[in-house]
Structure 1
Amino acid sequence: MVESQPTSEDEQQASLCVCNKPRDFSNIELICTECRRWHHAACTTVSTENMLPFQLNYVFTCNKCHDKSVDHIAKSKSTFLQACITALGNLMLQNPGKRFYCKDKDLVPFIAEHWECLMPNRQQSLNWPTHIYRALTTESVFSSEAEGEETFYSLAEEDLAQINPLKSTSEKFEGNPRPGKKSKLEDKKERLSKWGYPLEHPHNKDNYRYTLAQADPLAGDNWEQELAAGKPLPSKHYRCKLSEHVLLALHDKAQQIKIDEDRTTVTGEKGYCLVRGTHAVKHGCYYFECTIKEMPGNSACRIGWTQQYANLQAPCGYDRFGYSWRSRKGTIFHNSRGKHFSDGYGVGDTLGFLIVLPKSKERNTMLPPSYKDQALIKFKNHLYFEEKDESEKIEKELTPLPESQIKLYKNGKCEGTAWTDINKGSYFPCVSIYKNCSVQINFGPEFTFKPQEEEEVGEVRPVSDLATINIVEHTLGDLLYHVEDRLNTHT
């Protein structure tokens, strides 16, 4: 191992044990919570018989800081995040040059073998590997790479010396920060996901929907000056945030559902609840895929299409707004009425969902709403359009759309047409989860099993195309609004 010259007192303490000898990652090392100095286990008076290198669930105080002749150590309650960090650190130490490891083949067996050490006084539940997956996919301390159909994980920071139980586990092991309050500047930093959507946002709920707003460049010549002057701007100066990607919606989901950083994999918790995609089909023929990644115990899922008014705290197909295909027994659901359709599906299966909506001739359905007549609210330094809907009234007014249909596919084979003449409206891809099932959604443009174009269906487009179409349609809608607004202003 090549030793580098420490450039500061903190770095020198991080690279040396209290005995002034280099750190030894292959053996147990402890860091004192008071003086923040590392100690080889052999340099202490505590027993580390049931411990591992890079273990994080302990509190150690050396004899100099403890004001006694002996050192003191106490095991603390561990988390699955800490267990994953310890497991990856040991695997990387045992296999020099190898960074990435498989959850099922490497991490789960390691944690199971050292369970008493990593998870003291905690019983192994049937679905505990699901918590491992959730930690790996929701925390920034890990990085991942795909190889074939499997995903491999590693620590985002390669330097094992940075693994430190005194650090916040949400950091990427950078530096050696001392505990303290965040600065006001740090508190004001915008927390955005990799796709630019705020991590802290209002969630859609019964009768209220929220749409992220952005300044409308088509609003006129003086809106930027008004904004810089701190004047409140009316809603017509804003438009809905336009995205170039179709993803799982962070705001249009039940809050207990977990979505990974790439916003393509969803994991459930407890009872049935759902998440919708960010874009809806208004007319045409569109297709998306879902692959079942995990389905432990008696978990299940229902996948399909739903309108924006469907209840988020219920499975897809619970009301008249949704149509779903259930994993158990292959039952299809609409308005809480189930009907046998096909065999069930499970882990490893890839399901396809195709919807056909004939184009409406009504003028008011050609372009999406501009939202410019909706109220603007501010939440965590971001503006949102707040829209109140009357879902019960809308549900009573639903009527069938002639020649519309939904087809279902399993591993490339068409299982048939599940519904015809579905209710009029715009439909979002939807995944609803029961307990700890995990589903990965693929909006396209490339699919594992591309559906065959059928004469009665026509051209099949991937749901991913909706992003570009949405940008064009909203831009045209905003232009039309501003033209009409200026005509009304000058008449």
Structure 2
Amino acid sequence: MEWTDVETKERLLLDDEPSVTSAADESSQQSSGGGGAPPNALCYCERERDVRQVELQCCRCLKWFHKQCVTSAVGRCLPFMTCYTFWCRDCGADSVEAFSRRQTNFSQMCETAIANLMVGAEEDGNRVSFSKDREIIPFIDANWEVLTTMPRRIKHTWHQTVVKTMTKETDTFIHDARDPNDPHFALRNQDLLRIGPNYDSARIDPAGGVPNRFGGRGAKRRFEPSEALAAKRQKSELSSPKLPPNGFPAEFPFNKDGYRYVLAEPDPHGPFRQEFEESQDLAGKPIPGWLCRKLMPDWVALSLHDRATQLKISEDRRTVCGEKGYCMVRANYGVRRGLWFFEVRVEDMPDGAAVRLGVAQELANIQAPLGYDKFGYSVRSRKGTKFHDSRGQHFADSGFGAGDVIGFLLELPDGADSALLNTYKDKPLVKFKSYLYFEEKDDIPKQTRELRPLADSRLTVFKNGRPLGTAFHDLYAGTYYPSASLYKSASVSFNFGPKFEFPPKGRAFDAMSAVVATQQTEQTLSEVLYFVENEGRLRLDIFYGGN
């Protein structure tokens, strides 16, 4: 279908769209995203839908939820994504949210791209038609890893596939061919609220589990074209299995014996990545570190591998339970500048048990009480004693026990540490249970000698909203992680925000949960600068000692 002028374009759009007579009629229509629920079904927060932000539709109740209201780790998303399955906490198994991505095709990618371009063009005369070369393809290219689980295409033949897809699928797209050298495309249905996941194509487990896309147990699996091609390809040395819902492998190497392990993922921008994956001569050989990058989770939680092995972590990675002697766990994100707050609720404190709560750097000994060395600061439940470098001092008039909520306000002056984040790209990669990890050797004596106090830094402690005072001044400069050490079977739960039971009053602070976006940006910047500084040296022949 071709347009000859603006009037014809507008007439086609009006003729092809269903008429909307009232809000009630609109709500009763079937949603293109799997629908029986009204397109404005409310989120937990009971606010209306907003096409300018990411929203997820539950596959069971078909309600829409704002991404910032969802606690499940969903990763980076775009508005109008359609290839995912989401369970809200009212519908998920054990009242837990769940999110998983599904394979997408070019038609769905183009629909998402044009919908986002429409929202972005609201201040530009509400345009609905967009250039294939100047707008649609650049948008898909810039957001490839978000739009699809397919590997990024190295060759640009996919550009022509985009054109063929939108030209052929006239039920979804309208083609403006007035300028053969600059084709434009628009969505046939201009109602953006109707764009959503097609849950009709997936059979959802009645227990709220993973979707059964392929019918019963004996049903033959039908591959989509992209999946069939992937199945024929030889498995890449860089590939890893999909992570479990809690965002970390079920089996992993613990940080111990002077070594630290950092979960890695393939870096789509790594130099000579395609050559490495296509070479059969390099199979089984060490993998250059620059081909991978540190995996940056989308939520703050207790670390599964940066803890003592005897500690038990809950499925949501917020609660930890101790066993026997003192040992420690850290969060998966730390901070090095700014004013940050988090809370810890004492869930259970049996007779003879105890906990130490506070902050620690990554080199603090996890098989010891928090505050055992120079890298940790803590307050103990017994008598409210504070500890640093194995020195205990009186701090509070009384300790704390089950039911108490202990808040920590950590102040690290701005500009305290301007160094770039560690990219780990110069570290060796090791594979453990099919997952890749950067391996880093600790040099604790050297790091201890280099410790320097950070002027005007402080750690202030609260008990059930009541300030107990500043426990520590002039902490050593470095990155600090929310931490806890537990003795016997005590258990505590961390709250990283953004909502707190007892937020500090009169201070403008950041919730610990807000550190994710900041560090993801800083990590990306560090990786880009690493590539720039090492341009020309990151070559496979140099790494493997060739000429």
Judge same fold: TM > 0.5, yes or no: yes
Which of 339, 345, 367 is matched with 2:400 structurally? Answer: 345
| 2:372 and 2:387 in contact (8 A); partners too | yes
Q: Which residue of 2 aligns with 1:421?
A: 474
The aligned amino acid for 2:364 is A
What aligned pairs does 1:61-140 form with structure 2 within 5 A after superposition? none
| 2:241 and 2:435 in contact (8 A); partners too | no
Q: 1:311 to 1:414 in 2, by over 3 A?
A: same
1:407 is paired with a residue whose SS is strand
Q: Could you tell me how far apart the structure 2 residues matched to 1:396 and 1:368 are?
A: 21
Q: Could you tell me how far apart the structure 1 residues matched to 2:505 and 2:240 are?
A: 48
Q: Which residue of 2 aligns with 1:227?
A: 277
CA RMSD of aligned residues (A): 2.5
1:237-280 deviation line (CA, Å, top 9, x unaligned): 11111111111000100000000110000000000000000011
The aligned amino acid for 1:357 is L
1:368-422 deviation line (CA, Å, top 9, x unaligned): 0110111111111111110011112212332211000000011111111111111
Q: Which residue of 1 aligns with 2:358?
A: 304
Q: 1:396 to 1:450 in 2, by over 3 A?
A: same
Q: Could you tell me how far apart the structure 1 residues matched to 2:448 and 2:404 are?
A: 33
Q: Tell me, which stretches of 5 or more residues in structure 2 are unaligned?
A: 1-91, 97-204, 208-216, 218-238, 540-547
Q: Could you tell me how far apart the structure 2 residues matched to 1:361 and 1:472 are?
A: 18
1:447-470 deviation line (CA, Å, top 9, x unaligned): 11111233xxxx310111111111
2:535 is paired with a residue whose SS is helix
Q: Could you tell me how far apart the structure 2 residues matched to 1:361 and 1:297 are?
A: 42
What aligned pairs does 1:445-456 form with structure 2 within 5 A after superposition? 445-454=498-507
- State the shift of 1:487 in Å: 5.9
| 1:219 and 1:236 in contact (8 A); partners too | yes
What aligned pairs does 1:23-422 form with structure 2 within 5 A after superposition? 144-145=94-95, 190=241, 192-220=243-271, 222-229=272-279, 231=282, 232=285, 233-342=287-396, 343-360=398-415, 365-422=418-475
The aligned amino acid for 1:389 is D
Larger % of strand: which? 1
Q: Which residue of 1 aligns with 2:517?
A: 468
**TM-score calculated relative to the size of structure 2:** 0.53
Q: Could you tell me how far apart the structure 2 residues matched to 1:299 and 1:191 are?
A: 38
- State the shift of 1:218 in Å: 2.0
Q: Could you tell me how far apart the structure 2 residues matched to 1:287 and 1:293 are?
A: 20
**TM-score calculated relative to the size of structure 1:** 0.59
- State the shift of 1:226 in Å: 2.2
The aligned amino acid for 2:467 is C
Q: Could you tell me how far apart the structure 2 residues matched to 1:415 and 1:206 are?
A: 37
1:452 is paired with a residue whose SS is coil
Q: 1:191 to 1:370 in 2, by over 3 A?
A: closer
| 1:350 and 1:410 in contact (8 A); partners too | yes
- State the shift of 1:199 in Å: 1.1
1:298-341 deviation line (CA, Å, top 9, x unaligned): 11100100001011110100111100011111111111111111
Q: 1:263 to 1:224 in 2, by over 3 A?
A: farther
Q: Could you tell me how far apart the structure 2 residues matched to 1:446 and 1:144 are?
A: 22
1:196-236 deviation line (CA, Å, top 9, x unaligned): 3111010001321000011112224x414522545353111
Which of 487, 491, 511 is matched with 1:434 structurally? Answer: 487
Q: Could you tell me how far apart the structure 2 residues matched to 1:307 and 1:380 are?
A: 28
1:466 is paired with a residue whose SS is helix
1:153-173 deviation line (CA, Å, top 9, x unaligned): xxx998xxxxxxxxxxxxxxx
1:486 is paired with a residue whose SS is coil
The aligned amino acid for 1:411 is N
Q: Tell me, which stretches of 5 or more residues in structure 1 are unaligned?
A: 1-141, 147-155, 159-174, 176-187
Q: Could you tell me how far apart the structure 1 residues matched to 2:404 and 2:267 are?
A: 43
| 1:218 and 1:479 in contact (8 A); partners too | no
Q: Which moved more, 1:366-375 or 1:427-436?
A: 366-375
Q: 1:348 to 1:360 in 2, by over 3 A?
A: same
The aligned amino acid for 2:405 is T
- State the shift of 1:356 in Å: 0.7
Q: Could you tell me how far apart the structure 2 residues matched to 1:390 and 1:189 are?
A: 30
1:385 is paired with a residue whose SS is strand
Aligned positions, number: 306
Q: Which residue of 1 aligns with 2:527?
A: 478
